[in-house]
Amino acid sequence: MAYSKETEKQLTELFWKIEGRKEHEYAAATYKDVPALKEIVRLVEEQLAGDSDESTYVDSIAVLGYVADRYDSLGRYAVSAKFYNQILTLALTLKQQYGTDTDCIDGYLYAALQARNFYIDDDCDDLAGIATELMNADDAWRIINERKERRRSLKHDPIEMTEEYLAVIDEIEEKVEKSRTTYGHGSCFEVWSLTKSYLLEHDIEWHTPAELNPRVLFD
């Protein structure tokens, strides 16, 4: 069944809780937004666990698209990848059961490929099978092949994909925010140093972007 008025109200309140914290329209998410994002996901999963109809799938895809985008902006690509995969799967169900196409499906596919390739090379064969059913096969393969040719320009530590890292990173980012003393130009080095030291307290050996990309000039 469709989302109830009460659930819609809860989702709207959570949305504005996140958006109201932004300093400007394009501001990235922060660790402060994670509890609200998790609550949004809980409400969507609860809805999908019930009797789902066409509107349930359409609305759930849109809401999860927002969640995935916020996790992207937070730098949690291992998390956003999971939601993009779910979006594409829901879109396939929507198309197969109701013959309804999902708006911006090419954008979701591109974002899924980007998130899955942020840390490691991933041909995403599972997504290719779904994508060719959701859209014109030639268009799907064009997007997939473009992403293969443009994997990523910087290396990032795959440890960020692990459950151990994801379980503590929000707490650590809060500690970093409270401990840092520099802002603006060059502040990334202090942030990375603090993050690295706090992760070591959890026996997680994380490598900074500067360590993984020694020839890149960061500021």
Domains defined for the chain, CATH in brackets: 5-149 (1.25.40), 158-212 (no CATH)
pLDDT of residue 67: 99
The closest of 88, 87, 155, 89 to 121, measured between CA atoms, is: 155
Q: Is the dihedral of CA 11, 73, 101, 96 positive or negative?
A: negative
With vertex at residue 27, the alpha carbon angle to CA 26 and CA 32, rounded to the nearest 5 degrees, is: 145
Token pair of 112 as six digits: 């899924």
The per-residue pLDDT for range 93-131, each reduced to its tens digit, is 999 999 999 999 999 999 999 999 999 999 999 999 999
Report yes or no: 196 and 208 within 8 Å, Cβ to Cβ: yes
The per-residue pLDDT for range 178-188, each reduced to its tens digit, is 999 999 998 99
User: H helices within 20-136, ranges in order?
Assistant: 34-48, 54-74, 77-98, 105-116, 125-134
The per-residue pLDDT for range 20-43, each reduced to its tens digit, is 999 999 999 999 999 999 999 999
Whole-prediction pTM value? 0.94
